[in-house]
Amino acid sequence: MVLFLSTGSDRIHRLWENENLEEAAHAVLKHLGELKRLYLTAVEEKLLVFIEKEYGIIDEVLPNSR
């Protein structure tokens, strides 16, 4: 799966606004936001989804629903 960064940057910005963002999550989002390419790798997408779930931006997704 390839996520184009224009979509990803909206998601990153939404998370960035969270006042309770821990340093580790902040560091991952900073890295993702500074990428020079126009897409996220599968691992980067998984990290972003994990952080979104952790901070309640998205609900838990069942493994077979994708």
Specify the number of domains making up the chain. 1
> Residue 39 falls within a domain, yes or no?
yes
The parent domain of residue 18 ranges over: 3-58
> Residue 65 falls within a domain, yes or no?
no
Report long-range pairs for 21-30 (Cβ below 8 Å, ≥24 apart): 21/55, 25/51, 25/54, 25/55
> Residue 64 falls within a domain, yes or no?
no
Structural contact between residues 48 and 4, judged by C-beta atoms closer than 8 angstroms = no
Total-model pTM: 0.74
Amino acid at 56: G
> Residue 52 falls within a domain, yes or no?
yes
> Residue 63 falls within a domain, yes or no?
no
Phi, psi of 39 (to 5 degrees): -145, 165
- Specify the pLDDT at position 60: 53
> Residue 49 falls within a domain, yes or no?
yes
CA angle 61, 31, 14 (to 5 degrees): 50
> Residue 66 falls within a domain, yes or no?
no
Number of H helices, E strands in the chain: 3, 2
Residue pLDDT tens, the chain, 66 long: 555 555 678 888 889 889 899 999 999 999 998 988 888 899 999 999 999 999 988 765 445 444
